[in-house]
Amino acid sequence: MLAEQRRTLILDILERKGSVSVTELHERLEVSRETLRRDITRLDDEGRLTKIHGGALSNSSVEPALNERMTQNIEGKRAIGQMAAEMIPDGVSLIIDAGTTTLCMADYLVERRRLTVYTNDLQIAAKLAGLNDNRVLLLGGEVQGTDGAIYGRDTTQMLDNYFADFAIVGISAFSSERGLTDYSREAAELRSLMLNHARVKVLLGDQTKFERKAPVRISGFEKLDHLITDIKPSQNIARAAKILFSKVHISTSV
Protein backbone atom coordinates (compact mmCIF):
# COMPACT_ATOMS: atom_id res chain seq x y z
CA MET A 1 0.00 0.00 0.00
CA LEU A 2 1.35 3.41 -0.96
CA ALA A 3 1.97 5.95 1.80
CA GLU A 4 -0.62 8.41 0.46
CA GLN A 5 -3.25 5.66 0.24
CA ARG A 6 -2.48 4.66 3.83
CA ARG A 7 -2.78 8.21 5.08
CA THR A 8 -6.07 8.68 3.23
CA LEU A 9 -7.39 5.55 4.98
CA ILE A 10 -6.30 6.96 8.35
CA LEU A 11 -8.22 10.17 7.64
CA ASP A 12 -11.27 8.18 6.49
CA ILE A 13 -11.28 6.23 9.77
CA LEU A 14 -10.99 9.45 11.76
CA GLU A 15 -13.86 11.00 9.80
CA ARG A 16 -16.10 8.12 10.83
CA LYS A 17 -14.91 7.60 14.40
CA GLY A 18 -13.43 10.91 15.56
CA SER A 19 -10.41 9.22 17.15
CA VAL A 20 -8.21 6.20 16.56
CA SER A 21 -5.28 4.49 18.30
CA VAL A 22 -2.04 3.32 16.72
CA THR A 23 -2.90 -0.21 17.91
CA GLU A 24 -6.22 -0.18 16.06
CA LEU A 25 -4.58 1.14 12.90
CA HIS A 26 -1.90 -1.54 13.17
CA GLU A 27 -4.55 -4.27 13.34
CA ARG A 28 -6.67 -2.85 10.52
CA LEU A 29 -3.97 -1.78 8.07
CA GLU A 30 -1.35 -4.45 8.89
CA VAL A 31 1.42 -1.87 8.92
CA SER A 32 4.10 -1.48 11.59
CA ARG A 33 3.38 0.85 14.50
CA GLU A 34 6.51 2.85 13.68
CA THR A 35 5.26 3.52 10.15
CA LEU A 36 1.84 4.54 11.44
CA ARG A 37 3.37 6.92 14.00
CA ARG A 38 5.33 8.55 11.16
CA ASP A 39 2.12 8.82 9.12
CA ILE A 40 0.30 10.46 12.03
CA THR A 41 3.19 12.88 12.61
CA ARG A 42 3.20 13.79 8.91
CA LEU A 43 -0.56 14.38 8.84
CA ASP A 44 -0.35 16.41 12.07
CA ASP A 45 2.39 18.57 10.53
CA GLU A 46 0.13 19.13 7.53
CA GLY A 47 -2.75 20.15 9.80
CA ARG A 48 -4.97 17.27 8.65
CA LEU A 49 -5.38 15.65 12.09
CA THR A 50 -4.31 16.19 15.70
CA LYS A 51 -1.66 13.88 17.10
CA ILE A 52 -2.21 12.62 20.66
CA HIS A 53 -0.39 10.09 22.83
CA GLY A 54 -1.01 6.67 21.34
CA GLY A 55 -3.11 7.80 18.39
CA ALA A 56 -4.86 10.70 16.68
CA LEU A 57 -8.00 12.84 16.74
CA SER A 58 -9.97 14.19 13.83
CA ASN A 59 -9.67 17.97 13.70
CA SER A 60 -13.45 18.07 14.06
CA SER A 61 -12.96 16.28 17.40
CA VAL A 62 -10.76 19.04 18.83
CA GLU A 63 -12.51 21.91 20.55
CA PRO A 64 -11.64 25.31 19.04
CA ALA A 65 -10.02 27.96 21.25
CA LEU A 66 -12.26 30.27 23.28
CA ASN A 67 -11.62 33.30 21.06
CA GLU A 68 -12.68 31.34 18.00
CA ARG A 69 -15.77 29.93 19.72
CA MET A 70 -16.82 33.44 20.80
CA THR A 71 -17.12 34.41 17.11
CA GLN A 72 -19.31 31.41 16.25
CA ASN A 73 -23.07 32.08 16.45
CA ILE A 74 -22.60 34.60 19.24
CA GLU A 75 -26.15 35.97 18.93
CA GLY A 76 -27.55 32.47 19.35
CA LYS A 77 -25.40 31.91 22.42
CA ARG A 78 -26.54 35.19 23.97
CA ALA A 79 -30.17 34.25 23.40
CA ILE A 80 -29.59 30.90 25.08
CA GLY A 81 -27.78 32.59 27.95
CA GLN A 82 -30.62 35.05 28.48
CA MET A 83 -33.24 32.29 28.58
CA ALA A 84 -31.14 30.27 31.02
CA ALA A 85 -30.69 33.30 33.30
CA GLU A 86 -34.45 33.82 33.39
CA MET A 87 -34.76 30.44 35.12
CA ILE A 88 -32.56 31.59 38.00
CA PRO A 89 -34.26 33.43 40.90
CA ASP A 90 -32.51 35.44 43.60
CA GLY A 91 -30.98 33.60 46.53
CA VAL A 92 -30.29 30.22 44.92
CA SER A 93 -27.10 28.21 44.57
CA LEU A 94 -25.84 27.19 41.16
CA ILE A 95 -22.96 25.39 39.51
CA ILE A 96 -21.87 27.14 36.31
CA ASP A 97 -19.70 25.31 33.81
CA ALA A 98 -16.92 26.97 31.82
CA GLY A 99 -17.69 27.86 28.22
CA THR A 100 -18.80 30.53 25.79
CA THR A 101 -22.56 30.09 26.25
CA THR A 102 -22.34 29.99 30.03
CA LEU A 103 -20.14 33.09 29.86
CA CYS A 104 -22.91 34.81 27.88
CA MET A 105 -25.39 33.68 30.54
CA ALA A 106 -23.29 35.28 33.28
CA ASP A 107 -23.89 38.68 31.66
CA TYR A 108 -27.62 38.25 32.37
CA LEU A 109 -27.05 37.22 36.00
CA VAL A 110 -25.45 40.46 37.14
CA GLU A 111 -28.78 41.80 38.42
CA ARG A 112 -29.48 38.71 40.57
CA ARG A 113 -28.94 38.96 44.31
CA ARG A 114 -27.53 36.63 46.97
CA LEU A 115 -26.42 33.92 44.57
CA THR A 116 -24.04 31.18 45.67
CA VAL A 117 -22.00 30.26 42.60
CA TYR A 118 -19.60 27.36 42.08
CA THR A 119 -17.68 27.65 38.82
CA ASN A 120 -14.56 26.43 37.06
CA ASP A 121 -14.43 29.51 34.81
CA LEU A 122 -12.16 32.42 35.77
CA GLN A 123 -14.13 34.95 33.71
CA ILE A 124 -17.50 33.91 35.10
CA ALA A 125 -16.14 34.14 38.64
CA ALA A 126 -14.82 37.63 37.93
CA LYS A 127 -18.17 38.78 36.48
CA LEU A 128 -20.27 37.65 39.45
CA ALA A 129 -17.97 38.03 42.47
CA GLY A 130 -18.52 41.10 44.65
CA LEU A 131 -21.99 41.86 43.24
CA ASN A 132 -25.26 42.04 45.16
CA ASP A 133 -24.16 39.93 48.14
CA ASN A 134 -23.16 37.00 45.91
CA ARG A 135 -20.84 34.26 47.15
CA VAL A 136 -18.56 32.88 44.41
CA LEU A 137 -16.45 29.77 44.92
CA LEU A 138 -13.85 29.16 42.22
CA LEU A 139 -13.16 25.46 41.80
CA GLY A 140 -9.47 24.73 42.15
CA GLY A 141 -7.23 22.89 39.74
CA GLU A 142 -5.19 23.45 36.60
CA VAL A 143 -6.11 26.29 34.25
CA GLN A 144 -6.33 24.79 30.76
CA GLY A 145 -4.63 26.79 28.03
CA THR A 146 -5.78 30.38 27.61
CA ASP A 147 -9.50 29.69 28.00
CA GLY A 148 -9.63 30.38 31.72
CA ALA A 149 -11.28 26.98 32.33
CA ILE A 150 -10.16 24.83 35.26
CA TYR A 151 -10.16 21.03 35.12
CA GLY A 152 -8.51 18.09 36.80
CA ARG A 153 -8.62 15.91 39.88
CA ASP A 154 -8.41 18.88 42.28
CA THR A 155 -11.43 20.46 40.57
CA THR A 156 -13.65 17.39 40.90
CA GLN A 157 -12.54 16.80 44.49
CA MET A 158 -13.52 20.34 45.49
CA LEU A 159 -16.88 20.19 43.71
CA ASP A 160 -17.65 16.85 45.34
CA ASN A 161 -18.09 18.74 48.64
CA TYR A 162 -20.99 20.87 47.37
CA PHE A 163 -24.56 20.52 46.12
CA ALA A 164 -26.57 23.23 44.38
CA ASP A 165 -30.10 24.12 43.31
CA PHE A 166 -29.10 24.44 39.64
CA ALA A 167 -26.34 23.14 37.39
CA ILE A 168 -25.82 25.12 34.19
CA VAL A 169 -23.63 23.01 31.93
CA GLY A 170 -22.48 23.70 28.39
CA ILE A 171 -22.59 21.10 25.65
CA SER A 172 -19.36 20.46 23.78
CA ALA A 173 -20.81 17.92 21.35
CA PHE A 174 -24.21 16.24 20.96
CA SER A 175 -24.95 13.68 18.27
CA SER A 176 -27.79 11.25 17.69
CA GLU A 177 -25.21 8.46 17.49
CA ARG A 178 -23.07 9.12 20.58
CA GLY A 179 -25.22 11.40 22.72
CA LEU A 180 -23.34 13.88 24.92
CA THR A 181 -19.59 13.77 24.48
CA ASP A 182 -16.59 15.88 25.42
CA TYR A 183 -13.03 16.53 24.31
CA SER A 184 -11.19 15.27 27.40
CA ARG A 185 -11.79 12.81 30.19
CA GLU A 186 -11.28 15.57 32.77
CA ALA A 187 -13.99 17.76 31.24
CA ALA A 188 -16.40 14.84 30.86
CA GLU A 189 -15.92 13.74 34.48
CA LEU A 190 -16.38 17.27 35.82
CA ARG A 191 -19.55 17.92 33.82
CA SER A 192 -21.02 14.60 34.91
CA LEU A 193 -20.34 15.52 38.53
CA MET A 194 -21.89 18.96 38.05
CA LEU A 195 -25.08 17.34 36.79
CA ASN A 196 -25.19 14.87 39.66
CA HIS A 197 -24.70 17.58 42.30
CA ALA A 198 -27.68 19.78 41.40
CA ARG A 199 -31.41 19.52 41.87
CA VAL A 200 -32.24 21.11 38.48
CA LYS A 201 -30.01 20.20 35.55
CA VAL A 202 -29.87 22.65 32.63
CA LEU A 203 -27.77 22.10 29.52
CA LEU A 204 -26.96 24.85 27.04
CA GLY A 205 -26.09 24.03 23.44
CA ASP A 206 -26.31 26.16 20.32
CA GLN A 207 -26.69 24.80 16.80
CA THR A 208 -22.94 24.48 16.24
CA LYS A 209 -22.79 21.66 18.83
CA PHE A 210 -25.37 19.40 17.13
CA GLU A 211 -24.14 16.31 15.29
CA ARG A 212 -20.64 17.07 16.51
CA LYS A 213 -18.75 14.09 17.93
CA ALA A 214 -16.07 14.28 20.62
CA PRO A 215 -14.07 11.27 21.83
CA VAL A 216 -15.20 11.00 25.50
CA ARG A 217 -18.74 10.08 26.57
CA ILE A 218 -20.46 12.02 29.38
CA SER A 219 -22.35 9.48 31.47
CA GLY A 220 -23.43 8.56 34.99
CA PHE A 221 -26.55 10.73 35.28
CA GLU A 222 -30.28 10.18 35.16
CA LYS A 223 -32.65 12.03 32.81
CA LEU A 224 -31.81 15.73 32.56
CA ASP A 225 -34.32 18.54 33.10
CA HIS A 226 -33.77 21.17 30.41
CA LEU A 227 -31.99 21.65 27.10
CA ILE A 228 -31.86 25.23 25.85
CA THR A 229 -30.85 25.76 22.23
CA ASP A 230 -31.30 28.39 19.54
CA ILE A 231 -32.85 26.38 16.69
CA LYS A 232 -35.36 23.60 16.28
CA PRO A 233 -33.24 20.42 16.28
CA SER A 234 -33.18 18.05 13.35
CA GLN A 235 -35.34 14.95 13.52
CA ASN A 236 -32.47 12.75 14.70
CA ILE A 237 -31.29 15.21 17.35
CA ALA A 238 -34.88 15.82 18.50
CA ARG A 239 -35.35 12.08 18.94
CA ALA A 240 -32.16 11.78 21.00
CA ALA A 241 -33.06 14.88 23.04
CA LYS A 242 -36.51 13.50 23.87
CA ILE A 243 -34.86 10.49 25.49
CA LEU A 244 -32.28 12.54 27.38
CA PHE A 245 -34.18 15.70 28.43
CA SER A 246 -37.54 16.35 30.08
CA LYS A 247 -37.98 19.67 28.22
CA VAL A 248 -36.37 21.32 25.18
CA HIS A 249 -36.53 25.13 24.92
CA ILE A 250 -35.86 27.16 21.77
CA SER A 251 -34.54 30.67 22.42
CA THR A 252 -34.85 33.64 20.07
CA SER A 253 -32.01 35.98 19.18
CA VAL A 254 -31.55 39.04 21.36
Phi/psi of residue 250, nearest 5 degrees? -110, 115
> What's the confidence (pLDDT) of residue 70?
62
Name the strand (E) or helix (H) holding 224. strand 224-229
> What's the confidence (pLDDT) of residue 64?
61
Domains and CATH numbers, the chain: 3-61 (1.10.10.10), 67-250 (3.40.50.1360)
The structure's pTM equals 0.76
**In whole angstroms, what is the distance from residue 203 CA to residue 201 CA?**
7
> What's the confidence (pLDDT) of residue 61?
62
Given a contact cutoff of 8 angstroms between Cβ atoms, the answer to whether 191 and 159 are in contact is: no
> What's the confidence (pLDDT) of residue 68?
65
What are 203's strand-pairing partners?
A: 169, 227
Q: What is the mean pLDDT of each run of 10 residues along the chain (254 residues)?
A: 89 81 91 94 85 79 63 86 98 96 96 97 96 97 86 96 98 90 92 97 92 85 93 92 96 72
